[in-house]
Amino acid sequence: MLVPQMVGISIVLPFFAAALCLINVTTLRSMLVLGTSVVVSVASLFLVQSEAFSFTPEYLFGIPADGLIAILDFALLFVILGISYRLKNKLIAALTLLQLVPLALLELFMHPGEGAGPTLYGDQFSMIMCVIISIIGSLICVYGLAYMKEHEHHLKLAQSKQGRFFFYMVLFLGAMNGLVFSNNLLWLYFFWEVTTLCSFMLIKHDETEVAITNATRALWMNMLGGVAFVMAMIMIRAKGMPLSLQEIIVADNASALLLLPIGLLCFAGFTKAAQLPFQSWLCGAMVAPTPVSALLHSSTMVKAGVYLVIRLAPAYAGTVFSNYVALFGAFTFLAAAVLALSQSNGKKILAYSTISNLGMIVACAGINTPAAMAAAILLIVFHAISKALMFLCVGTIEQKIGSRDIEDMRGLIRIMPKTTMVAVIGIVTMFLPPFGALLSKWMAVEASAQLPLVVLMLAVGSALTMVFWGRWLGMLMTSTLHQVNLQAEEQSSLIRVPLLFLAAAAVLMSFVAPGLYTSMVLPVLERLYSTDLYVAALGVISNNVGMFALYPIFVIFTLGVIWAARASSSKRVSTRAYSTPYVCGLQDPSDNQRLGFNGPLGQWAEFTSTNYYMENLIGEGRISTWVNVVALGILVILLAGVL
């Protein structure tokens, strides 16, 4: 299936297309982004059909590949050093030097290429990641074309900055594809750092003060992960092991000796996946234009973090370290869900929900059973689709109503009927059965049942999740029939197509979840485990302790939705049934559609209702410090345990 070529296309093409985006011409840029999106998506779909592969490109454009990556590595670190100089930020400079010097030592004295095996490796897990990155990432870039036009129009810029913007957006896709196919840790490290740089540049894109502050924070937190990564490589070499991911995770080699570097690599993963106490960089990242948030939260960046943690999971299976990883992830899941409950800012809810879901994925990696690993991989897929959809919806809504506060989205169905319906699909696929995200959550809870503390956190967190999604869902609908005024919504097709595509994907992918599991997840698991695997037959996913009747539930709910939609269609309900909300008979005598009470002495009293945010109890300002302390505590124990 021309695997090397397809891998080459999905990694290298975005790099070139990105460079061409720097030529700041609108038409060229649109064509480049659309063209790259299509080609990369098709390449990823070709790749999915192949078997697991590994190969080593000796030369890239006539230059020895390893050398090229080494040079680019140093170039990248010097660029970041330059940035730290410009920001006058000593911390970032120090963190860069802490990578530069050890990396130089590693490259010069520790024979990094020794026995490293194939540079690139791809199994079904990498391929799923590649499809997510290539297709969802591309859709977000396409959406970005229309969004950024509106965005810059709004900011009234003299000179368009879109060239640079799309340079980093497209580069991001290439780097992520490189990351998931790298087997050589030096290569992985290079792509890892490219995503760090891209995210920094994209977060600070608007160059406002808060954007620069938040971008700086994102940079130093991720550089912290980078330092851990370099240290891990040095330790691996010091123990005479090759810098090959596959070698490290092979069971025989994963002795206690290697647990420290593995712990450091996981630490790097935690920073990138914005696990507590590093959540603030991802929350801060939402100052960036919406396509950036969508890209960081759904298909790239944070998924790189959990990808590495899951990849390494077999290497620490059965250790106490693994249990602590589970606890750490579960705590992040719970704490981020609590924080999400206290928010009324739509983007922040999405941000905390992302962190929460990533926490669950990390917890699954820590639980480290076949069921948990299946949950982790499936959750990556379904979360990416639904979260990308939700971010694009909130971005679209924000450009129309000028607010991202969910309280301002009450009755949105009247203003933006189509986008609201898409958002409803986004929300429902995020937390209700029979959709994939819930299926993964079900797997995760059943898998965690052996660890009482973990299962308790997952149980409470999942109830909190239900509350903040459920109320958002309801608020979108708040309206009376007298107010209903479904205008046709004007929208660029560059915005509408990605929205509709993602909404359709969220539903359809959930429907094919059993097939997805059998064809893409099971082969990965079978390489690692021989017992307790889930089996998907006739749309029912089951193992020895549980079973999920996905197709029966899916079919009955589909019929149910059709039935409910018919029963509630305007054709079947006569206008005589239209009523007004109950106000104890105290409505305005002259206009009974007016919302409020006719109070004493004929005084008119409006009412307002808002959600319980419990800010004085669980607000960000109140509990952030405490949850960070606890998370840091677990992290310290976790790393101290492997010293």
Partner 1 sequence: MDFKTIIYVLLAIILSPILGGLLAGIDRRLTAWCQGRFGPPILQPFYDVIKLLGKERLIVNYWQIFCVHIYLISSVLCVALFAMQADLLMIFFVMTVGAVFMVVGALSVPSPYSQLGAQRELIQMLTYEPLLIIVFVGIYFVTGSFKIDAILAYDRPIFLLLPLLYVVLTFALTIKLRKSPFDISASHHAHQELARGVLTEYSGPYLAILEIAHWYDIVLILAICSLFWSTSLVGMAALLAITYMAEILIDNVTPRMTWRWMLAYVWGVGIGLSFFNVALLYARSF
- Shorter beta-carbon distance to partner 1: residue 238 or 463: 463
SS (H, E, C) 262-307: HHHHHHHHHHHCCCCCCHHHHHHHHHCCHHHHHHHHHHCCHHHHHH
Closest distance to partner 1 from the beta carbon of 516 (Å): 18
- Shorter beta-carbon distance to partner 1: residue 27 or 603: 603
Closest distance to partner 1 from the beta carbon of 639 (Å): 28
Name, in order, each residue with C-beta under 8 angstroms of 334's C-beta and a sequence gap of 6 or more. Answer: 356, 359, 457, 458, 460, 461, 464
User: Both tokens of residue 272?
Assistant: 């990138």
| Amino acid at residue number 242 | P
- Shorter beta-carbon distance to partner 1: residue 103 or 371: 371
- Shorter beta-carbon distance to partner 1: residue 403 or 544: 544
- CB 524 within 8 Å of CB 370: no
- Shorter beta-carbon distance to partner 1: residue 568 or 590: 568
Closest distance to partner 1 from the beta carbon of 178 (Å): 38
User: Both tokens of residue 294?
Assistant: 């969508």
- Shorter beta-carbon distance to partner 1: residue 85 or 578: 578
Closest distance to partner 1 from the beta carbon of 542 (Å): 8
- Shorter beta-carbon distance to partner 1: residue 150 or 407: 407
- Shorter beta-carbon distance to partner 1: residue 523 or 596: 596
Closest distance to partner 1 from the beta carbon of 419 (Å): 17
- Shorter beta-carbon distance to partner 1: residue 49 or 579: 579
Cα separation, 184 vs 113, in Å, equals 9
Cα 196–chain centre separation: 15
- Shorter beta-carbon distance to partner 1: residue 207 or 591: 591
| Amino acid at residue number 298 | S
Query: How many CB atoms neighbour CB 391 within 10 A?
Result: 29
User: Both tokens of residue 337?
Assistant: 């869900």
By the criterion CB under 8 A, which residues form the site for partner 1?
A: 410-411, 432-433, 438, 441-442, 445-446, 449, 452, 455-456, 458-460, 462-464, 466-467, 470-471, 473-475, 477-481, 484, 544-549, 553, 556-557, 560-561, 563-565, 567-570, 573, 576-584, 595, 607, 609, 611-612
- Shorter beta-carbon distance to partner 1: residue 119 or 440: 440
**Burial of 399 per CB tally in 10 Å (0-12, 13-18, 19+):** middle
Closest distance to partner 1 from the beta carbon of 432 (Å): 5
Closest distance to partner 1 from the beta carbon of 426 (Å): 15
Closest distance to partner 1 from the beta carbon of 613 (Å): 11
- 535 phi/psi in degrees, rounded to 5: -120, 135
Q: Which of 513, 338, 483 is nearest to 414 (CA)?
A: 483
Cα separation, 193 vs 213, in Å, equals 20
Task: List own/partner pairs for 15-21 with CB under 8 A and 24 or more apart.
Answer: 15/171, 15/174, 17/170, 18/166, 18/167, 18/168, 18/169, 18/170, 18/171, 18/174, 19/167, 21/163, 21/166, 21/167, 21/170
- CB 44 within 8 Å of CB 131: yes
User: Both tokens of residue 66?
Assistant: 């390893």
Name, in order, each residue with C-beta under 8 angstroms of 462's C-beta and a sequence gap of 6 or more. Answer: 337, 441, 445
Cα separation, 613 vs 75, in Å, equals 47
Closest distance to partner 1 from the beta carbon of 429 (Å): 12
Closest distance to partner 1 from the beta carbon of 403 (Å): 18
- Shorter beta-carbon distance to partner 1: residue 433 or 523: 433
Closest distance to partner 1 from the beta carbon of 598 (Å): 14
User: Both tokens of residue 163?
Assistant: 């060239």
Closest distance to partner 1 from the beta carbon of 437 (Å): 11
